[in-house]
Structure 1
Amino acid sequence: MFHTGVFTELGIKTMFLDTRYFSGFCQDSRDMIAVATVHANCCRGIQAKVIDLMAVFRDWKNYRGYIDDQRLGALYVLVWSLSISKGFSPFQINQCAPSSKTIMITARDERNELEIALEGASMKNKTLIIAMVNKAYVEEGDKTMLDLFRDSFWLGENTRSLLDHVLIVAMDQIAFDRCNLLHLHCYRLVMEGVDSAGEKLYMSNEFINMMWRRTLFLTDVLKRGYSFIFTDTDVMWLRNPFTRLNLDEAEDVQISCDKFNGKQWSKINPINTGFYYVRSNNKTIALFNTWYTMKDNSNYTGMKDQDVLVKMLHTGLFTELGIRTRFLNTRYFSGFCEDSRDMRVVTTVHANCCRSIQAKVKDLAVTLRNWKKYRGYLEDQRLGILFIWSLSVSKGFLPFQKYKWASSSKTTTVTNIYLRDELEVALDGASMENKTLIIVMMNKAYVEGDKTMLNLFLDSFWLGENTRFLLDHLLIVAVDETAFDRCKFLHLHCYRLVMDGVNSAGEKLYMSNEFIKMMWRRTQFLYDVLKRGYSFIFTDADIMWLRNPFTRLIPDEAKDIQISCDSNNPKSTPINTGFYFVQSNNKTIALFNTWYTMKDNSNYTGMKDQDVLDKMLHTGLFTEFGIRTRFLDTRYFSGFCQDSRDMMVVTTVHANCCRSIQAKVIDLTAVLQDWKKYRDFVDDQRLGKIPSNRTYGFGWSKHVACRNSWRWL
């Protein structure tokens, strides 16, 4: 139409926009000062556009960073990150970035992003803690190495605040995504030419390559003026190690040992680079730079970085560079090579002298159990007891041996203050733009143990389809101080609910008096939330979120309440208040107010809140209030009372019809294992490894533990 004169006939006045300002992949603008828009034209697939537009955003952020840092008026010459497959050649029509999910970060991007990450994690004195992880450390097993590492900060003495200064360096995208989901300080390190995702067995070629990449990265950190503790994630932090390090400038490097010869200055100590502290100065920068260049020295071919560092130490290079080195005593910085025998002072425990991740996880889980038992003795008896570690799982389990030492008392009284405005802040922080959020309640029994209910609940958001972002809209309502502290430690949205007259910490067995009281306090709290104008999904923590439930709920105001059921029974719908969605309006506020007042009605004495709500439903009170109710199908909102048989659509799985937390944890762990197997099947089918017409022979694992939980009633 344009070229045949139709525009002219219609009198259309046309202005052609300069690609200097309105840039695109067909013709890049070269002037970042003036560019206004960037279009992914000359590109065929959505996936390819997304990959290359992400690179555009990184270029833009990098440019803005230079402007903020330098405040210069000079022309910034833009070099866009071009298509991943083509270097700096022009784009071709109908083809841009390939479908690969790998995104290469330019050196300029990496420096800028690294500086932000380091600054975010560091203390005021430019000191931080650095740990490196890959997929194998964040995904393999029901309890991952990263889980154990983080748990040690929670269980340790005066270590919780240190997690705010840990930078997790992720060597693959899965590890990076997991780190971000856990609200930690995260940095994505590109590993060129290395498959960084799987487990790297000790002394394999990939293991050696990864260790050298680590050394190069840490050299860069030192050059930026940051001192650090480097720690492997198979090191459990039981006490604050900074209290055992010399923090003045007397030593440049303080490094752990596999075994300790009794002399902290002796170079004969066998060092271990899984835990060490380095002060940033010209000497240590020169040391690390020399260390890294040694990998190309023919005398050190095939050696891992730690062995090369030992050679440098013994051949006098440390002395030549003026490096002052202290070797850390295994009494304080313990490991599996040489256990500390003194629980009173042990600071870290390293799973050294151990080859596989699976073995490390097993034995470190025992280490944390030992530590909790020791702490339990101190709490219960206030006695000084020296423990001997349980041995490796493969060697059996030896009982602790006890030795008395000077007792000490350290009692802390916590005063809980309930401020109503704190609730508004918490609700506002977690809610979506439409004042909708997800609420779950927790107590001590749900957050403590080797594998806790809270861990499983959060894991389901990680493993589910399109559920990870929902964690940003989850409010954890903690009914005791332990649960609240754990929530804050995990950087979640948290609110401390005071439970007047109720011992809220321990497990509340189904239908016990304390269980009933806690359920009524929950109803009162949710009534308050509705009055503040917030709609919500309430979910028990024993519900696994496998898909986004909002896609299965009616989103408009056609229904006031949408509630889960124990089973699909057309004659009598047995509701379950472990999962339901409520719109905030005058009708639901009136309903919840009436519901809560019913607890004092003599007709309902000793009944739990769910049974009272069921009575209100069947006696016509819902109809009187004009409440429009929808009962959720167990095909989508499944539970142990009635399993969904359709894995293609199942959205949540509730451990209902189950009495104890221990039983729920066992059977929900099996649920997540079943779900991962199904997801692996779907992924393999999508990648063509399995014929597309093959169906998944699905069957949930039997809920044996939950069935047995009723046996001794």
Structure 2
Amino acid sequence: MSFKRSHTFAFTLVSGCCLLVYVVFYLELMGNHRELNDIEGLSLRSRLTVPRPAAGVSASLAGHAVIPSSNNSWSANSACTQADIERRSATVVLTTTNAGYLDVTENMLESIKRTRACPNITVIAEDEPSYQRLTQRIQSQPGLHVQRSPLVATVWKSTKLHSRDFNRLVRRRPQYILNLLKKGYDVLFLDSDNVWFKDPFKDFQESFDIAMHNQQVNIAEFCVGFAYYRPTENTLRLVTEWLRLLDKKKHPKTGEQTTMNKLISRKLIPKLKIKTLNETNYPDGKKYFRQAGWREAHSDTTVLHLSFIFGHDAKVAKLKEFGFWFI
């Protein structure tokens, strides 16, 4: 009996050790799997920490600068609480970046922080330098998530508009958007060259499938660089078809925005409901910086998108010139 009990104890001990080794291996494996494939199931629980006070405005508002609104909610010391972040837990603000536009991306994140809109933000870093740099920002910006791209690392430099490298980067974005829509999230997608002056979510209350700024009148030339997607059947059909057409057009010079507008113009999703964002509140760079008298006549900007300002250095120069550079 003594030998039998000892044998049973030894067997139990060995089994327990094996089980423990398996559990450790499994957890490590799943951790690696999430790192590689987390875009399929973005972990969107806020990484909430006690925020450090933000740094003061790094560029003073020059005498010629035009402040977008007298009642904007900019605050260099704004801080979001856990309750603030969870208030918008069903919505993800999504952007992508690489090292070439990392400083522009950080400037946008700082502008969002100052509005105290307190959204959940996911940044997909398309290269390792961006990932390493932006993960350091998580402690000072509640609600911010940074993830490595699950795809192969790409160019680290800034890219020319509509170049082969540029289109290769931006053609990934519809897949990122679709993955989140399929999980039931509203998605506000941003190019990194946006600057927030006020909380925009007040403009996304009514019923629609997609909300975007139209750069033209009477024809579809919507800008996908600031677009709000709801996870409706129409939106899912549109983004799925958008991806299919991009995949069908293998040529890397095919732009994702051109493809989206062709899809809308042809009314392939006949019941699609698009909300056109008011250009007074959501101007593009052409109107804001180049159209004489426009800026002086429209002082209630919510979000400014620096489209039509071409190239990294030109965008940074404009942001600094008008006092919108905060890092």
Q: After TM superposition, is the score higher than 0.5?
A: yes
Structure 1 residue aligned with 2:57: 139
Determine the C-alpha separation between the residues in 1 that align with 2:228 and 2:251: 24
Determine the C-alpha separation between the residues in 1 that align with 2:179 and 2:86: 15
| 1:621 aligns to 2:262 (yes or no) | no
Please report the TM-score for the alignment, with normalisation by the length of structure 2.
0.68
User: Cα 1:594–1:432, aligned 2, differ >3 Å: closer, same or farther?
Assistant: farther
Partner of residue 285 from structure 2, selected from 640, 661, 672: 640
1:178-217 equivalent positions in 2, closer than 5 A: 178=76, 181=79
Partner of residue 210 from structure 2, selected from 544, 552, 561: 561
Determine the C-alpha separation between the residues in 2 that align with 1:574 and 1:628: 15
Determine the C-alpha separation between the residues in 2 that align with 1:604 and 1:432: 42
User: Cα 1:609–1:140, aligned 2, differ >3 Å: closer, same or farther?
Assistant: closer
CA distances 1:124-148 after superposition (whole Å, capped 9, x unpaired): xxxxxxx9x9x9x7235359xxxxx
Identity of aligned residues (%): 19
Determine the C-alpha separation between the residues in 2 that align with 1:603 and 1:481: 26
CA distances 1:226-281 after superposition (whole Å, capped 9, x unpaired): xxxxxxxxxxxxxxxxxxxxxxxxxxxxxxxxxxxxxxxxxxxxxxxxxxxxxxxx
- The aligned amino acid for 2:273 is R
Q: Indicate the structure (1 or 2) with the bigger Cα radius of gyration.
A: 1
- The aligned amino acid for 1:671 is F
- The aligned amino acid for 1:511 is H
| 1:493 aligns to 2:145 (yes or no) | yes
Gaps of 5+ in 2: 1-49, 62-74, 139-143, 289-293
Report how far residue 630 of structure 1 moved: 1.5
Determine the C-alpha separation between the residues in 2 that align with 1:474 and 1:526: 13
Determine the C-alpha separation between the residues in 2 that align with 1:455 and 1:561: 26
| 1:510 aligns to 2:161 (yes or no) | yes
Determine the C-alpha separation between the residues in 1 that align with 2:122 and 2:249: 34
| 1:482 aligns to 2:133 (yes or no) | no
Partner of residue 90 from structure 2, selected from 431, 435, 441: 435
**Secondary structure of 1:544's aligned partner:** strand
**Secondary structure of 2:300's aligned partner:** coil
Please report the TM-score for the alignment, with normalisation by the length of structure 1.
0.32
Structure 1 residue aligned with 2:241: 594
Superposition RMSD on alpha carbons, in Å?
3.2
**Relative contact order higher in (CA < 8 Å, ≥ 6 apart):** 2
Instruction: Report if aligned partners of 2:212, 2:228 keep a CA contact under 8 Å in 1.
Output: yes
1:400-549 equivalent positions in 2, closer than 5 A: 432-433=87-88, 435-447=90-102, 452-463=103-114, 467-470=115-118, 472-491=119-138, 492-500=144-152, 503-549=154-200
Instruction: Report if aligned partners of 1:566, 1:642 keep a CA contact under 8 Å in 2.
Output: no
Structure 2 residue aligned with 1:664: 315
**Secondary structure of 1:138's aligned partner:** coil
Gaps of 5+ in 1: 1-119, 122-130, 144-176, 184-429, 676-713
Structure 1 residue aligned with 2:304: 653
Report how far residue 594 of structure 1 moved: 1.0
Determine the C-alpha separation between the residues in 2 that align with 1:669 and 1:456: 11
User: Cα 1:605–1:438, aligned 2, differ >3 Å: closer, same or farther?
Assistant: closer
Instruction: Report if aligned partners of 2:59, 2:320 keep a CA contact under 8 Å in 1.
Output: no
User: Cα 1:140–1:582, aligned 2, differ >3 Å: closer, same or farther?
Assistant: closer
CA distances 1:409-434 after superposition (whole Å, capped 9, x unpaired): xxxxxxxxxxxxxxxxxxxxx77455
Determine the C-alpha separation between the residues in 1 that align with 2:107 and 2:167: 24
Determine the C-alpha separation between the residues in 1 that align with 2:149 and 2:162: 21
Report how far residue 456 of structure 1 moved: 2.1
Report how far residue 525 of structure 1 moved: 1.1
Determine the C-alpha separation between the residues in 1 that align with 2:268 and 2:196: 31
Report how far residue 648 of structure 1 moved: 3.9
User: Cα 1:547–1:432, aligned 2, differ >3 Å: closer, same or farther?
Assistant: same
User: Cα 1:142–1:439, aligned 2, differ >3 Å: closer, same or farther?
Assistant: farther
User: Cα 1:480–1:432, aligned 2, differ >3 Å: closer, same or farther?
Assistant: farther
